Amino acid sequence: MRKIFIIGGLIALVCLGSACNQNALKRQNAILLQRLDSLETEVQHLRSIHASYAEESGEELDVGFEVQIGAFREFDLGQYADELVRLRGTNEYGLNKYVLGRFHRFEDAERFLNDVRKMGVKDAFIAGVVNGQRTTVAEAKAAAKNYYGSEF
């Protein structure tokens, strides 16, 4: 009878130890998940800061928006490329496309677009950019939210 009691007590201690171990693992997992969430938020914040610097320096954005002010077949400003620091031209499908402004927030691009239209460039529009490639505004908005986080 005494052997049964000792064995039963050992089983109870093992189970108790296992439950305690599970609780400790759950607490540790919760702490790690909170830390991961905090780090993801910090990365998104740093991406947003980098994007602001990229906007100011005219460098490519990973994710963002551009305001296209025109697309012309017979008109090319290439000869002025060195002087036109913020105006960027590309040639796609036989069209010389001109983009002015790069923004990581859609709202900023939209405000700039409204000002450009007030200056008389009525056909200007916003284009999305993801990984340096032209895309739809909807795709760029979704990518920006994931890339820059809730502050976007």
Predicted model pTM: 0.61
79 burial level (CB within 10 Å; 0-12, 13-18, 19+): exposed
Q: How much is the pLDDT for 10?
A: 46
Q: Is the pLDDT of residue 81 over 70?
A: no
Q: How much is the pLDDT for 136?
A: 93
Which amino acid is residue 46, in one-letter code? L
Residue that wins the pLDDT comparison between 133 and 4: 133
Residue that wins the pLDDT comparison between 131 and 76: 131
The string of pLDDT tens digits covering residues 121-130 is 999 999 999 9
End-to-end CA distance of the chain: 70
Q: How much is the pLDDT for 84?
A: 60
Contact 122, 113 (CB under 8 A): no
Give the Cβ contact number of residue 66 at 10 Å: 22
> Which residues fall within 8 angstroms of residue 134, CB to CB, at 6 or more apart?
127, 128
Sheet holding 95-103, edge to edge: 87-92, 95-103, 63-72, 125-130, 133-135
Beta bridge partners of 129: 64, 134
Strands 95-103 and 125-130: unpaired
Q: How much is the pLDDT for 139?
A: 94
The string of pLDDT tens digits covering residues 12-63 is 445 555 666 888 888 888 888 888 878 777 777 777 777 776 666 666 777 8
Please state, in angstroms and rounded to a whole number, the distance separating the CA atoms of residues 107 and 115. 13
The string of pLDDT tens digits covering residues 103-142 is 888 998 999 999 989 989 999 999 999 988 889 999 999 9
Give the Cβ contact number of residue 143 at 10 Å: 19
